[in-house]
C-alpha cells in the first residue's frame, strides 16, 4: 500500500517550520544559474505535493537582480521566532511555486 512519507523541518533556531510530502531532497533544485541562492522548488499546484508552512510572509517584496540582469521580486517567508528568511515566492498572489532556502531549514526527527 502506498504510504506517503511526511518530513518535518525546523529553522536554525529550532522552531518548527515545515511539514511536507515528499521530503525536500525529493524536490528539484532551482537552477542555480538563475539566482545563485540554493533553493528547492515546492510546487503549489501539484496534488502529489502537500505541505504546511508555519512562517510569516512579508507583505512587501525585496528586489533581487538575477544573474541575467532581470529583476525578480521575492516575498520572503520568515521564521515566527527569529525572523530568519526560510523561503520565498516570486508572485504577489497565486504563486505556482514556493522556494525554500536550503541553508535555513534543518530536518527534524519525528516518530
Ligand atoms: Zn527561527
Residue ranges of domains in the chain: 7-104
| Residue 2 pLDDT class (50, 70, 90 cuts) | low
Q: How high is the pLDDT of residue 55?
A: 98
Q: DSSP characters for 43-68?
A: ETT-TT-EEEE--EEPSS-EEEE-TT
Closest CA to 75 of 53, 90, 54: 90
**In the numeric block, which cell numbers belong to residue 18?**
515545515
Q: How high is the pLDDT of residue 36?
A: 82
Report every protein residue that has its C-beta within 5 angstroms of ion ligand 1: 11, 13, 15, 79, 81-82, 84
Question: Ligand 1 centroid vs 2 CA: distance in angstroms?
Answer: 33
Q: How high is the pLDDT of residue 39?
A: 94
Q: Was domain 7-104 assigned CATH 2.170.150?
A: yes
Task: Look at residue 90 and tell me whether its pLDDT is greater than 80.
Answer: yes
Amino acid at each position: 500500500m502506498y504510504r506517503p512519507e511526511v518530513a518535518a523541518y525546523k529553522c536554525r533556531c529550532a522552531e518548527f517550520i515545515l511539514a511536507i510530502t515528499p521530503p525536500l531532497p525529493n524536490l528539484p533544485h532551482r537552477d542555480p544559474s538563475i539566482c545563485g541562492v540554493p533553493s528547492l522548488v515546492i510546487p503549489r499546484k501539484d496534488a502529489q505535493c502537500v505541505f504546511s508552512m508555519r512562517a510569516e510572509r512579508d507583505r512587501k517584496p525585496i528586489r533581487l537582480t538575477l544573474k541575467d540582469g532581470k529583476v525578480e521580486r521575492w516575498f520572503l517567508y520568515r521564521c515566527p521566532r527569529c525572523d530568519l528568511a526560510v523561503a520565498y515566492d516570486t508572485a504577489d498572489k497565486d504563486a505556482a511555486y514556493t522556494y525554500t532556502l536550503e541553508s535555513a531549514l534543518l530536518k527534524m526527527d519525528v516518530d
